[in-house]
């Protein structure tokens, strides 16, 4: 009994010390951040910036904060990004395997293209990994080259979904003018057998991605498709209306699409 009591006392003392340390640290960090006196280290700052980007808390931003340039470059070219991509693909496949398919070809899975099926890291590597303001003309030249490599975890997921019997639909913010280049690039990167590649028409120009993509998902639903899954690196790929039964957010720290 005495040992039992001692154990309880030790546990309580341990918890109390955690609370005290946490509360002090919390107050310090909160006041540092909110008053703008950023005494916290660069890495911690960028790690938390990353949290807010990936959870959509950060909303819309122009470019990677200057102090996080190195952080983003290391992340996007390192193991963590690859491991995150693989983990998302793993979750997606695990869910897909639980879906009962109707067999009528209307069981759809939607993929975004850029930073979801194809990687533009070679382009962004020569444009500061998102730390420079987006240069559309230069990016369009890169798109026309049709040389973006696949994201292997996505390519594997794509093939597994196809094998399971899903109808694969690609929904991208690229425009109809880029249809040829996009189809060539997807084939070059190993993708095939998509049911449809949906691009922005002239009437979609200037529309927020969330609206444009929601409208297209709604059309698909009206055609009888059931959108079981949706994979995209942007929250604007996933939110809005006519959302998929399950949405999968892929990592991307280089840019945000409104």
Is 220:244 a contact under the CB 8 Å cutoff?
Answer: no
Tell the smallest beta-carbon distance from residue 198 to a copy of itself (Å): 23
Tell the smallest beta-carbon distance from residue 131 to a copy of itself (Å): 15
The two beta strands, 226-232 and 107-111, are: parallel
Tell the smallest beta-carbon distance from residue 57 to a copy of itself (Å): 5
Is 155:189 a contact under the CB 8 Å cutoff?
Answer: yes
Token pair, residue 195, equals 């049911």
Closest to a copy of itself by CB, 81 or 212: 81
Closest to a copy of itself by CB, 95 or 175: 95
Tell the smallest beta-carbon distance from residue 112 to a copy of itself (Å): 14
Tell the smallest beta-carbon distance from residue 224 to a copy of itself (Å): 23
Q: In what order do the strands lie in the sheet with 226-232?
A: 196-200, 167-175, 107-111, 226-232, 246-249
Is 228:96 a contact under the CB 8 Å cutoff?
Answer: yes
Which residue matches tokens 């093939």? 159
Closest to a copy of itself by CB, 54 or 195: 54
Question: What are phi and psi for residue 56, nearest 5 degrees?
Answer: 75, 5
Give the residues lining the site for a copy of itself (CB under 8 A). Answer: 11-12, 14-16, 18-19, 21-23, 25-27, 29-34, 40, 44-45, 47-49, 51-52, 54-59, 77, 79-80, 82-93, 95, 119, 121-122, 125-126, 149, 151-153, 156, 160, 246-249, 251
Closest to a copy of itself by CB, 33 or 207: 33
Closest to a copy of itself by CB, 152 or 226: 152
Tell the smallest beta-carbon distance from residue 216 to a copy of itself (Å): 20
Length of the chain in terms of residues written: 258
């Amino acid at each position: 009994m005495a040992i039992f009591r001692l154990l309880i006392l030790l546990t309580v003392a341990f918890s109390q010390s955690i609370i005290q340390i946490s509360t002090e640290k919390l107050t310090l960090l909160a006041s540092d951040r909110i008053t703008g006196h950023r005494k916290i280290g660069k890495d911690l700052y960028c790690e938390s910036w990353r949290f807010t980007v990936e959870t959509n808390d950060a909303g819309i931003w122009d470019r990677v904060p200057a102090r996080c340039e190195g952080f983003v470059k290391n992340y996007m070219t390192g193991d963590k990004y690859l491991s995150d991509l693989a983990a998302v693909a793993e979750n997606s496949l695990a869910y897909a395997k639980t879906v009962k398919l109707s067999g009528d070809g209307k069981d759809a899975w939607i993929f975004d293209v850029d930073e979801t099926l194809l990687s533009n890291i070679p382009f962004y590597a020569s444009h500061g990994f998102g730390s420079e303001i987006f240069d559309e003309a230069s990016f369009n030249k890169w798109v026309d080259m049709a040389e973006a490599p696949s994201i292997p975890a996505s390519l594997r997921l794509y093939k597994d979904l196809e094998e399971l019997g899903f109808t694969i639909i690609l929904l991208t913010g690229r425009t109809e003018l880029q249809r040829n280049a996009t189809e060539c690039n997807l084939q070059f990167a190993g993708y095939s057998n998509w049911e449809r590649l949906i691009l922005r028409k002239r009437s979609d120009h200037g529309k927020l991605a969330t609206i444009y993509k929601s409208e297209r998902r709604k059309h698909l639903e009206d055609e009888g498709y059931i959108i079981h899954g949706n994979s995209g690196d942007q929250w604007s790929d996933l939110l809005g209306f006519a959302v998929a039964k399950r949405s999968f957010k892929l990592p991307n720290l280089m840019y945000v699409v409104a």
